[in-house]
Chain A
Amino acid sequence: MSGLLKSSIARKVAMALSGLFLIIFLIQHFTINFTSVISADLFNEFSHFMGTNFVVQALLQPVLIFGVIFHFVMGFMLEIKNRQARGVKYVQFNGSANSSWASRNMIISGAVVLAFLALHFYDFWVPEMLYKYVEANPEDPSRYYAELVHKFESPVRTGIYALAFVLLAFHLWHGFSSAFQTMGVNNKYTPFIKKFGYTYAVVIPAGFIFIALFHYFNH
């Protein structure tokens, strides 16, 4: 098994597994965010739990950060290798004749999501880490809702947020079923996996955009 990550297929499988892990994480993130639409207290309660639970903070959080970094670094490495594999570029390349925009531009949708994540970390994660671990403020279980709502006051931020999720939708549109194909699953369940993937790719990002717009217009 050593050197497994040296082969093209192993790298692809690593991309698929980290992608599926992030897809699962997205459901959890979405569920908690969605509670902010239902009730401020509920959202505070969940956020307080996630922000202070030892397992979440010390175990799941590092795994998640590793997963994100791994998926991006590997994605960029593969993109570079793939570009080199063409050698001389075509004068005319009619990609849209045989494949979808989403499938050919995972690097673009991925890079936009990465840029968004940088902003997202700056907005939420970095202040959260400073608040909790550097300044060592006492925990106030009711602060989370206000922090969230505050971020969606600006139309620019809300706009960027929505745009990033549109690109995430494209990324998931191809990525979801692609991950299964890479792991060797292509059988009678494939049409179902594809449909489920397309639904997921639309519903989850649309849900995140809905939450952002909800708070923006709620001011």
Chain B
Amino acid sequence: MNLKLKIWRQKDANTKGKMVDYQISDVSPDMSFLEMLDVLNEELIEKGEDPVEFDHDCREGICGSCSLQINGEPHGPDRGITTCQLHMRMFKDGDTITIEPFRAKAFPVIRDLIVDRSSFDRIQQAGGYISVNTSGNTIDANAIPVNKHDADKAFDAATCIGCGACVAACKNASAMLFTSAKVSQFALLPQGRVEATQRVLNMVKQMDLEGFGNCTNTGACEIECPKGISLENIARMNSEYLSASLEG
């Protein structure tokens, strides 16, 4: 396949960026999207140009580092996948592909396609944990009975890999799907109930402080999420938040 790529290039956080056009030929449909970018970068390096910087780590859909807004959608046109799992067979010979960084005020661009997602870490640090004594007298998790339905829902929420596609897809750059997944994975379990009130208040407060937008329930996040995190989690976070603020 021969493709035309339009890629966002930006030297650093303080420099203005712009879209730059590249041609790439002999792309195999079996390549992953990141492999295609690897090929482009090798060509750029050979020509003595700066390679296109992008985030990646596991390349198997579990770490959440690979980002990229591809043709106007986070992780491109396929569903339930990350960019490292996107294959070039989703595109046709002669296509033009637009590649941009995830855009949000709370995700500033570091260079080219790499954005700083540490705002997610700070939301997590604000309450996305349980306080247990791990110094030698931990209790086996299975010693506390949890009903299957709740355990499954908590597990589903816990599959969020913090990739930020929900923010990138949302017209409001809202982080509600991510935050609600992190609230829900504990809210449904007895171990998480102990700190539930403070957790939801603190995490939502941090989410607002980071400058993410307000959810308007378009549902774009749920469709684009590589792990299929459900909007149900946002509803759960909202009701947790409301009862927590009425209590407090």
Residues of chain A whose beta carbon lies under 8 Å from any beta carbon of chain B: 1, 4, 7-13, 78, 81-82, 84-95, 97-100, 103-104, 106, 174, 178, 181-187
Nearest CB in chain A: distance from B213 CB, A = 3
Contacts of A1 in B (CB 8 A): 245-246
- Kindly state the separation between the CA atoms of A85 and B242 in the bound complex, as whole angstroms: 23
Contacts of A4 in B (CB 8 A): 245
Given A85-B172, A92-B71, A103-B235 contact (CB < 8 Å): no
Q: Is the CB of A94 within 8 A of B235?
A: no
Within 8 A of A (CB), among B1-26: 6, 8, 19
- Kindly state the separation between the CA atoms of A129 and B240 in the bound complex, as whole angstroms: 45
What are 21 A-B residue pairs whose CB atoms fall within 8 Å in the complex? A9-B242, A82-B213, A84-B211, A85-B106, A85-B212, A86-B173, A86-B213, A88-B109, A90-B69, A90-B72, A91-B98, A91-B100, A97-B72, A97-B77, A98-B73, A104-B218, A178-B216, A182-B215, A183-B242, A184-B236, A186-B234
Within 8 A of A (CB), among B169-212: 169, 171-174, 176, 204-205, 207-208, 211-212
Residues of chain B whose beta carbon lies under 8 Å from any beta carbon of chain A: 6, 8, 19, 69, 71-73, 77, 98, 100, 103-106, 108-109, 169, 171-174, 176, 204-205, 207-208, 211-220, 223-224, 231-232, 234-242, 245-246
Contacts of A103 in B (CB 8 A): 216-219
Q: Is the CB of A86 within 8 A of B169?
A: no
Nearest CB in chain A: distance from B67 CB, A = 13
* Residue in B211, B212, B241 with the greatest tally of chain A CB atoms within 10 Å: B241
Q: Is the CB of B218 within 8 A of A81?
A: no
Q: Select which of A8, A92, A181 is within 8 A of B204 by beta carbon.
A: A8
Q: Is the CB of A13 within 8 A of B217?
A: no
- Kindly state the separation between the CA atoms of A156 and B8 in the bound complex, as whole angstroms: 48
- Kindly state the separation between the CA atoms of A113 and B223 in the bound complex, as whole angstroms: 29
**Which residue from chain A places its CB closest to the CB of B19 in the assembled complex?**
A91
Nearest CB in chain A: distance from B130 CB, A = 22
Q: Is the CB of B173 within 8 A of A13?
A: no
Given A84-B105, A85-B212, A100-B218, A94-B72 contact (CB < 8 Å): yes
Contacts of B174 in A (CB 8 A): 8, 82, 85
Contacts of B104 in A (CB 8 A): 85-87
Main secondary structure of the interface of A (DSSP, over half): helix
- Kindly state the separation between the CA atoms of A125 and B61 in the bound complex, as whole angstroms: 59
Contacts of B172 in A (CB 8 A): 82, 85-86
Nearest CB in chain A: distance from B233 CB, A = 9
New A-B pairs, 17, CB < 8 Å, besides A98-B224, A174-B217: A8-B174, A8-B212, A8-B215, A78-B216, A85-B212, A86-B103, A87-B105, A87-B108, A87-B173, A91-B8, A91-B100, A98-B219, A98-B223, A99-B220, A182-B235, A182-B238, A186-B236
Contacts of B240 in A (CB 8 A): 184
Q: Is the CB of A8 within 8 A of B239?
A: no
Contacts of A104 in B (CB 8 A): 171, 218
**Which residue from chain A places its CB closest to the CB of B10 in the assembled complex?**
A88
Contacts of B103 in A (CB 8 A): 86-90
**Which residue from chain B places its CB closest to the CB of A75 in the assembled complex?**
B216
Q: Is the CB of A93 within 8 A of B239?
A: no
Q: Select which of A82, A86, A185 is within 8 A of B214 by beta carbon.
A: A82
Q: Is the CB of B242 within 8 A of A8?
A: no
Contacts of A94 in B (CB 8 A): 71-73
Q: Is the CB of B208 within 8 A of A8?
A: yes
Q: Is the CB of B238 within 8 A of A178?
A: no
Contacts of B72 in A (CB 8 A): 90, 92-95, 97
- Kindly state the separation between the CA atoms of A99 and B19 in the bound complex, as whole angstroms: 26
- Kindly state the separation between the CA atoms of A174 and B214 in the bound complex, as whole angstroms: 16
- Kindly state the separation between the CA atoms of A183 and B215 in the bound complex, as whole angstroms: 12
Nearest CB in chain B: distance from A143 CB, A = 42
Q: Select which of B220, B236, B245 is within 8 A of A95 by beta carbon.
A: B220
Q: Which 10 A-B pairs have the closest CB atoms?
A: A184-B239, A94-B72, A85-B213, A186-B235, A82-B172, A87-B105, A98-B223, A82-B213, A92-B72, A99-B218
